[in-house]
Amino acid sequence: MLEIQERFDTAGYEELLAANPGVVKLHITEALDGGNVLGFIAYSYEGDKTVVYDYDDGGDLMLCDGLVRSVMFKSCLKAIGKCEFRLPDKAGYDALKKLRFLEGDSTVADDLDRFMNSCEHCKNNE
């Protein structure tokens, strides 16, 4: 069964941490299936925004959706309303645009509360 869980250390993610030297506290959330890591998302909380530094969804669009939504949800719980993506690979933005987390050339998702609540009635759409 797929689980999305936050790690409480950065073991195994040292290269990612080294590539982002200004990050005070790097958070890692992993997608797990039976203890096997299927993907991750790396982020930090910086004042009024959450910054996503990288993610790996193994090419699975639905996994990307789940990882990003988990970070957005946690941001909303912390009253953070903006999420900025600073990805090392421009190809990473393609999935985010397909999923409508980002629009055009923007790297910022504004008004996370509105975004998260806009899906509230999706189950009623056919």
In-domain check, residue 126: no
In-domain check, residue 49: yes
Q: Which two tokens stand for residue 96?
A: 């985010």
* β partners of residue 82: 49, 110
How confident is the model at residue 22, as a pLDDT?
87
How confident is the model at residue 111, as a pLDDT?
79
Q: Which residue is associated with the tokens 């719980």? A: 77
Residue 51 sits in a domain whose CATH number is 3.40.630.30
How confident is the model at residue 112, as a pLDDT?
82
Residue 57 lies in domain: 2-119
* Mean pLDDT per 10-residue segment, the chain (126 residues): 92 93 92 95 96 96 95 93 94 94 93 66 49
Phi, psi at 73, each rounded to 5°: -60, -45
Q: Is the dihedral of CA 67, 26, 53, 44 positive or negative?
A: positive
Number of domains into which the chain is organized: 1
How confident is the model at residue 83, as a pLDDT?
96
- Helix-then-strand count for the chain, H and E: 4, 6
